[in-house]
A and B are shown apart, each in its own frame.
Chain A
Amino acid sequence: MSDKETTSFEDLYKAHHPKVQRLCRMLLKDSAEAEETDQEVFLKMFKQYQTAGWPQDWGAWLTRVAINACHDRRKSAWWKWWRSSNGEVQLADYPSSERTPEQEALGREQRGHIWQAFRKLSARQREVFVLRYLEGWSTEEVAKMLAISEGSVKNHLFRAVHHLRKVLKSNGEGS
């Protein structure tokens, strides 16, 4: 069903909320902050919904708005750095929580290392990785959303994957 046919805001919310929520949580380190940003994004969506100018694709629109909101959060939240030392990522409400064979194969410790390595990536690398692999956008679409060149997207992606693979291998060999 296309967005044009989905007239109810509630339906739109249900369709897009899990993705936006995950995106915010992946891009922001603080889960409470991610929650606030998520709400902020849907507030903007509601305002947009009330106007006549609906976007062609709500998914792409929401992704762009969420990325910008996360950017703003990171810029303005210098004090969050202060409180980041005692933050604990909430486990609830992650959209795809079913376990895959690969997931089962990976030990808890190794998963922790991957997450830790992911959190240490630069903001841009995290954005590119999430949009390309977790959200499933093409390189071209990611470049458009982030307003950077495709070559830049590929380079960020390569660096992110290279770093994560290195961590995966070093811990795989270690364990």
Chain B
Amino acid sequence: MTRCLEDKALFFLSEGEANETQLAHLQSCQICSKRYEDVKQDIRLITHTLGQKPPPLPLAPEWPIFFKSLPIAAGVLLALALVLGDSRLWRANSPSEQALNGDVSQFLEQVSEAVFDGGRIRDIENTSSESDLASLQVALGESCSEECRGLLNNSFVANTKAKTQTMDRPVVTARKRPLDPSMQRMVADR
């Protein structure tokens, strides 16, 4: 006696597909014969049921809509997070960028000093401080000597020149720093 038929073989039998061995087994085995009849009966029953009006679907409770909106909400939040995060990344100055900015400003200062001749400006500053001293003496009512008058005149001329030059200069805070050797060479070449 052969082994009992599988469900798939029984189903294919119901579809009219079987080999001789299967058919022989079906005729000899009461269990398989009963199972085969069950398959046919079930298919008939299911087909009849589905051929009829379907029962109304139970109305869905409200909560599934909430759950259905969750993936959409999550998607929107993710998109927002990505956009905001991205813009912050663009805005944030990293330490390396800050260091670069410092280098650039230092370089600009050096260029400014080199181009507008820092030494002469320092002379003017010294002269100004001397003329300030003379003005102070006059203000205090002390007698003004020839030397003092000369200093006052120099102070006036120097101030006028310095003002004119300051107006022409670009606005760069000029802190006194040693010139870069390469910059010094460049200035010397000029």
- A87 CB-CB contact with B under 8 Å: yes
A102 and B8 contact, CB distance less than 8 A:
no
**Which of A115, A162, A165 lies in contact with B50, CB distance below 8 A?**
A115
Q: A85-B68, A88-B56, A154-B15 are in contact. Are A164 and B51 (CB under 8 A)?
A: no
B46 and A114 contact, CB distance less than 8 A:
yes
Least distance between B36 CB and chain A CB atoms (Å): 13
B47 and A133 contact, CB distance less than 8 A:
yes
A106 and B68 contact, CB distance less than 8 A:
no
Interchain CA distance A102-B12 in the complex, whole Å: 23
Residues of chain B within 8 A (CB-CB) of A165 are: 39, 42-43, 46
The digit string for B127-164, where 1 denotes a CB below 8 A from any CB of A, is: 00000000000000000000000000000000000000
**Which of A82, A87, A108, A161 lies in contact with B11, CB distance below 8 A?**
A161
Q: Which of B55-89 contact A (CB under 8 A)?
A: 55-57, 59-60, 64-65, 68
A118 and B50 contact, CB distance less than 8 A:
yes
- B190 CB-CB contact with A under 8 Å: no
Q: A85-B60, A86-B59, A114-B46 are in contact. Are A96 and B11 (CB under 8 A)?
A: no
- A89 CB-CB contact with B under 8 Å: yes
Q: A91-B56, A165-B39 are in contact. Are A114 and B50 (CB under 8 A)?
A: yes
Q: A89-B57, A164-B46 are in contact. Are A97 and B52 (CB under 8 A)?
A: yes
Most buried by A among B11, B12, B44: B11
- B176 CB-CB contact with A under 8 Å: no
Interchain CA distance A96-B60 in the complex, whole Å: 28
Interface range on chain B: under 10, 10 to 19, 20 to 34, or 35 or more? Answer: 20 to 34
Interchain CA distance A161-B51 in the complex, whole Å: 15
- B48 CB-CB contact with A under 8 Å: yes
Q: A82-B68, A85-B65, A161-B11 are in contact. Are A100 and B56 (CB under 8 A)?
A: no
Query: Number of A-B pairs whose CB atoms are under 8 Å?
Result: 87
- A160 nearest CB neighbor, chain B only: B46
**Which of A99, A133, A157, A168 lies in contact with B52, CB distance below 8 A?**
A99
Residues of chain A within 8 A (CB-CB) of B55 are: 108, 111-112, 115
Least distance between A43 CB and chain B CB atoms (Å): 26
- B180 CB-CB contact with A under 8 Å: no
A115 and B48 contact, CB distance less than 8 A:
no
- B19 CB-CB contact with A under 8 Å: no
- A26 nearest CB neighbor, chain B only: B50
- B98 CB-CB contact with A under 8 Å: no
- A103 CB-CB contact with B under 8 Å: yes
Least distance between B49 CB and chain A CB atoms (Å): 5
The digit string for A147-164, where 1 denotes a CB below 8 A from any CB of B, is: 000000010011001101
Interchain CA distance A169-B49 in the complex, whole Å: 14
Residues of chain B within 8 A (CB-CB) of A134 are: 47, 50-51
**Which of B17, B46, B65, B68 lies in contact with A161, CB distance below 8 A?**
B46
- A94 CB-CB contact with B under 8 Å: yes
Q: A94-B53, A96-B52 are in contact. List 7 more A-B contacts (CB 8 A).
A: A86-B59, A86-B65, A91-B56, A118-B50, A130-B50, A154-B17, A169-B42
A-B contact pairs, 15 of them (CB 8 A): A22-B51, A82-B68, A86-B59, A96-B51, A102-B45, A102-B49, A111-B52, A112-B55, A133-B47, A133-B50, A134-B47, A139-B15, A158-B8, A164-B42, A165-B39
